[in-house]
Amino acid sequence: MKKHNKFLTLFMVLVLSVVLAACGASDEKTTNDEGTTDEGGSKELNLLVASEPPSLHPGLATDTTSGVILQNTFEGLMTLVNGEPTEAAAESYKVSEDGLVYTFTLRDAKWSNGDPVTANDFAYAWTWVLDPENASEYSSILYPIKGAEAFNLGEGSAEDLGINVIDEKTIEVTLEAPTPYFLELTAFKTMYPIHQATQESNPTWYTEAETIVSNGPFTLTEWVHSGNMVLTKSDTYWDADTVKIDTVNIAMVESETTQMTSFDAGEVDYLGTTLGVVPLDAIERLKSEDILNVADYSGIYWYKLNTTDPVIQNINIRKALALAIDRKALIENITKGEQTPALSIVPPGVEGFGDNYFEDADFEKAKEYLAAGLKELGLSDPSELTISVSYNTSEAHSAIAQFIQQGWASNLGINVKLDNSEWQVYLDKLSNLDYQVGRMGWIADYNDAYSFLEMFNSAENGNNDTGWENAEYAALLKQSVTETDADKRTEVLKEAEAIMVEEMPVIPIYFYTNLYVQKDYVSGMEPDALGNINLKYADVNK
């Protein structure tokens, strides 16, 4: 929703126009025996996203909307296939016996401008991310690399990094400690290469389709800001023969109702995950039609808490809010997506985790915490307390916020205000700690508990957004990085998780499931447990 309602009607007209234009709805399209969808014999896939991608720079992107575009226009040393790391830009790799040194040999690959992809492109990109001047919010994901954390914190130099370019086709990476998920990290967007000459000649290269140089299976050939995007099969991609889709049309449609209408009308071929949302009010219908897919998803829906706020900094208030949510009722009556109530931080799908640290909807305990918190704040009655809940514009987020608002008001007797804003504005609010309670989701970057816990190692971590930090917690995370015994490492991380739940800088609400629908002629778009969809393997056969 735009800030000014007088623009709403015009906005909806523009949105519908974009959907029809970007999705190529035309009576003149034909289909041949090979499943092609236009007069020229090429295959098209029609998709949508909910908003403008905030950033298409691999080193700056932090959100899933940007991520789904980057995943299909760039490529790391490895990629994830069915959740498993598989060679991508790297043709092969070797790992030293002590698990500290990874040596990658690159295949013959090219950038979209025809330049060869070299080992230096990776070394340059990683150094750029770690350079504190570039303020990459995801820089900590490279901390397993020797010297990375020190350089990023201004305590070391680029020359001390464990990144060594042997030759154009060989890069050697030395780690601080054995990192069992390092190969998965090299498949993540922050570790994608960037074209050095392009970055140095045009620092804003990633803001327009015409200036983006990428190395993935698709290139971004059209970008109408806040309107639509077009991905085109790359003719320079090393594995172009595997790519079946010639053109991917992506409309930007904020309204979840309009997204569903577009799918029902055949204007988009897939809806769900990061490519739109299955709206709450359509779930029962889609289940009855037997077309709703429910998949595992390693992620959590939570409310972040601004611990620098005069009210929210009170631990008792935070605990009261956390315990006064009826998660089971929320799932049964609002989300309806077979989610699991989150009574911990790390999802049960991560081996060794899934303990319940508190009771769902423990209203009596919540009232005890509230009373203690009010006394500490110098307040005598719950009605004197007003909490603001912020969320980005979405029918689902709004419905969830209203449910929680009603629960806090009726069970705690406090006042709750709701505040929504469009995605980019909302991200800025959280980053600037300009909120009290703010909704957010987190999908694992790699399927390990550390992915859910690491962002809170410091208030300065770009993904923290709560202002919270705890020295003991941070020390446990550091210990987990060097612990080579898997069982001991799990215990260390569980100790850290317990501290986080005890201090509650975030309120866990539910663990995600992945809801999606697709046309019966679409294949190869099943998301993995991290929600990744690699359009390289997608196909349409009408």
| pLDDT tens by residue, 350-369 | 888 989 999 999 999 999 99
Q: If you search the block for the tokens 């005069």, which residue do you land on? A: 310
Q: Which two tokens stand for residue 336?
A: 């309806």
Give alpha helix (H) positions in 23-159.
64-73, 119-130, 148-152
- The whole-chain average pLDDT of the chain stands at 91
Residue 406, C-beta contacts closer than 8 angstroms, at least 6 positions apart: none
| Single-letter amino acid code for the residue at 88 | A
- Residues 401-430: what's their mean pLDDT? 95
pLDDT greater than 60 at residue 258:
yes
- Which H helix or E strand runs over 489? helix 486-503
Question: For the residues 225-244, what does the mean pLDDT come to?
Answer: 97
- Residues 478-500 have a mean pLDDT of 92
Cα 435 from Cα 431, distance rounded (Å) = 9
Average pLDDT over every residue of 330-335: 96
CA-nearest of 214, 221, 220 to 236 is 214
* Tokens encoding 342: 């989150």
Q: Which residues contact 455 (CB under 8 A, 6 or more apart)?
A: 140, 442, 461, 463, 464
Q: Is the pLDDT of residue 28 over 70?
A: no
Give the pLDDT band (50/70/90) at residue 13.
very low
The CATH fold assigned to 295-514 is Dipeptide-binding Protein; domain 3 (3.10.105)
414 three-class SS: coil
Q: What is the pLDDT of residue 495?
A: 97
Measured in whole angstroms, how far is the alpha carbon of residue 8 from the centre of its chain? Answer: 28
Which residue's structure tokens are 């929680």?
Answer: 404
Rounded to whole angstroms, the Cα distance separating 301 from 510 reads 5
Token output for 365? 């305990």
In terms of Cβ atoms closer than 10 Å to its own Cβ (0-12, 13-18, 19+), residue 10 is exposed
Query: Measured on CA atoms in the order 495, 496, 498, 503, is the torsion positive or negative?
Result: positive
As annotated, the residues of the chain forming the CATH 3.90.76.10 domain(s) are 74-210
Are 469 and 269 in contact, with CB atoms under 8 Å apart? no
Report which of 181, 229, 92, 166 is spatially closest to residue 489, judged by C-alpha positions: 181
- Neighbouring C-beta atoms of residue 148, cutoff 10 Å: 25
At 442, is the secondary structure helix, strand, or coil?
strand
pLDDT band at 40 (very low <50, low <70, confident <90, very high): low
Q: Is 88 a residue whose pLDDT tops 90? A: yes
96-151: per-residue pLDDT in tens? 999 999 999 999 999 999 999 999 999 999 999 999 999 999 999 999 999 999 99
Q: How far apart are CA 212 and CA 194, in angstroms?
A: 10
CA 321 to chain centre: 25
Phi first, then psi, for residue 484 (nearest 5°) are: -90, -15
Burial class (CB in 10 A: 0-12, 13-18, 19+), 118: buried
Please, what is the end-to-end C-alpha distance for the chain in angstroms?
35
What residue ranges of the chain are covered by domains with CATH 3.10.105.10? Answer: 295-514
- The stretch 227-245 carries a mean pLDDT of 97
Full DSSP string of 417-478: EEEEE-HHHHHHHHHTT--SEEEEEEE-SSSSTHHHHGGGS-TTSTTT-S----HHHHHHHH
Of 16-20, 391-395, 464-468, the range with the highest mean pLDDT is: 464-468
Return the half-sphere exposure (C-beta side, CA atoms, 13 A cut-off) of residue 323. 22
Structure confidence by residue, pLDDT tens digits, 501-534: 999 999 999 999 999 999 999 999 999 888 889 9
- pLDDT computed for residue 199 by the predictor: 97
Q: Cβ(320)–Cβ(382) under 8 Å? A: no
Band of pLDDT at residue 82, cut at 50, 70 and 90: confident
* Bridge partners (DSSP) listed for residue 302: 440, 508
Q: What are phi and psi of 509, to 5 degrees?
A: -115, -60
Q: How many CB atoms lie within 10 A of CB 159?
A: 7
Give 415's DSSP letter: E
Distance CA 431, CA 77 (A): 30
8 pLDDT above the threshold of 50: no
Q: Which of 484, 454, 501, 471 is nearest to 354 (CA)?
A: 501
- The values of phi and psi at residue 8, to 5°, are -65, -45
- Provide the residue count of the chain: 542
pLDDT of the residue at 531 = 87
Distance CA 49, CA 26 (A): 21
Position 446 scores a pLDDT of 83
> Residue 95 pairs with which residues in a beta bridge?
102
Please determine, for residue 24, whether its predicted confidence score (pLDDT) is greater than 70: no
Locate 474 and state its tokens: 């941070």
Model confidence pLDDT, tens digit, residues 416-430: 999 999 988 999 999
Coil, strand, or helix at residue 404? helix
* pLDDT-derived band at 296, boundaries 50, 70, 90: confident
Q: How, if at all, do strands 247-252 and 228-233 pair?
A: antiparallel
What is the C-alpha separation between 444 and 296, in angstroms, rounded? 12
Of the chain, the percentage scoring pLDDT greater than 90 comes to 82
DSSP bridge partners of 275: 272
Q: Give the predicted TM-score (pTM) of the model.
A: 0.79
* DSSP conformational letter for 189: G
The whole-angstrom separation of Cα 412 and Cα 368 is 10
* φ, ψ of residue 448 in degrees (nearest 5): -150, 150
- Between the alpha carbon of residue 419 and those of residues 173, 438, 480, the distances in Å are 45, 9, 38
Superfamily for the 74-210 domain: Dipeptide-binding Protein; Domain 1 (3.90.76.10)
